[in-house]
């Protein structure tokens, strides 16, 4: 949706780090998520961060949250060909934690 | 079931026909979402249910689209008088109110010929 924005494409060389950025508009967001969609498949939750956290690390994934700027990023270390996918940023907000998704960033890993 | 189930997985229909897409969410999940994903595009929000009520229908593209949810569980998305531009993958997701991690189904690929 329009409340969550992402760049549409990212090309990265195998072995390099990928950084996918996302901005959101609602300061009352409670949780922020990164989802991955592989070709022909549904979306799977990769990781999430609670809004009172600045950073979360999970193996090759690092999520950074700048709440002041309403900016979320996902860093993938040592990017592999299996990381080629569409990555969606999402936020949940409001009393009923309704989810809003960005349009998705298509990550292409080249050899 | 263990996950969100959608049926059919594929549907080919003739232009002008009505179609019904079904979503069976994870048991106990109160929130249910329908999204549309056209080829090579991002997620387009269609409608959101909390229980049986739909507080946000803002994404339904036209009055040919409707959705209902009964018993706080199964939802059907109905598209009347289908058009070629309705061709897309229709994704359903469900979540609990508490943490709202959404679980997605595999989607229904709709092709209107």
List, for residues A91-101, the tens digit of each pLDDT value.
Answer: 887 666 677 88
Q: What is the DSSP letter of A106?
A: E
Rounded CA separation B13/B11 (Å): 6
3 state SS of A82: helix
Rounded to the nearest angstrom, the minimum Cα separation between A80 and chain B is 21
Residue B100 CA neighbour count, 13 Å, CB half:
26
pLDDT at B97: 66
**What would the mean pLDDT of B43-59 be, rounded to a whole number?**
86
pLDDT at B99 over 60: no
Q: Mention every residue, 6+ apart, whose C-beta is less than 8 A from residue B40.
A: none
Q: Cα A3 vs. chain centroid, distance in angstroms?
A: 14
Establish, for the pair of chains A and B, how many residue pairs have beta carbons separated by less than 8 Å: 63
Q: Verify whether the Cβ–Cβ distance B102 to A100 is below 8 Å.
A: no
User: Does residue B94 belong to the interface with chain A, where contact is any CB pair within 8 Å?
Assistant: no
**What would the mean pLDDT of A65-90 be, rounded to a whole number?**
94
User: Does residue B10 belong to the interface with chain A, where contact is any CB pair within 8 Å?
Assistant: no
pLDDT at A99: 78
pLDDT at B26 over 50: yes
Residue of A nearest to B105 (CA): A42
User: Does residue A1 belong to the interface with chain B, where contact is any CB pair within 8 Å?
Assistant: yes
pLDDT at B83 over 90: yes
User: Does residue B75 belong to the interface with chain A, where contact is any CB pair within 8 Å?
Assistant: no
pLDDT at A84: 96
**What would the mean pLDDT of A62-67 be, rounded to a whole number?**
95
Percent pLDDT > 70 in chain A is: 95
Q: Which of B37, B42, B105 to mutate to test the interface with A (most CBs of A within 10 A)?
A: B42
Residue of A nearest to B4 (CA): A42
pLDDT band at A1 (very low <50, low <70, confident <90, very high): very low
Helix or strand (DSSP H, E) at A92 = strand A85-93
pLDDT at A29: 73
pLDDT at A92: 81
Q: Are B24 and B8 in contact (CB under 8 A)?
A: no
């Amino acid at each position: 949706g329009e409340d969550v924005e992402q760049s549409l494409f990212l090309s990265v060389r195998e072995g390099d780090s990928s950084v996918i950025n996302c901005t959101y508009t609602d300061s009352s967001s409670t949780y922020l998520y990164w989802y991955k969609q592989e070709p022909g498949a549904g979306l799977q939750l990769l990781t999430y961060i609670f809004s009172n956290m600045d950073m979360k690390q999970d193996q090759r994934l690092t999520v950074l949250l700048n709440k002041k700027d309403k900016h979320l990023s996902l860093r993938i270390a040592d990017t592999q060909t299996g990381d080629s996918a569409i990555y969606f940023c999402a936020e949940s907000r409001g009393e009923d934690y309704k989810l809003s998704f960005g349009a998705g960033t298509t990550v292409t890993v080249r050899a | 079931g263990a996950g969100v189930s959608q049926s059919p997985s594929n549907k080919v229909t003739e232009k002008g026909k009505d179609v019904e897409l079904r979503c069976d969410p994870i048991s106990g999940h109160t929130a249910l979402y329908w999204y549309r994903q056209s080829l090579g595009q991002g997620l387009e929000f269609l409608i959101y249910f909390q229980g049986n009520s739909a507080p946000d229908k803002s994404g339904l593209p036209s009055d040919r689209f409707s959705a209902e949810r009964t018993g706080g569980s199964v939802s059907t998305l109905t598209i009347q008088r289908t058009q070629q531009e309705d061709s897309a993958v229709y994704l359903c997701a469900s979540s609990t109110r508490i943490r709202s991690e959404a679980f997605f189904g595999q989607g229904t690929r709709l092709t209107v010929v």
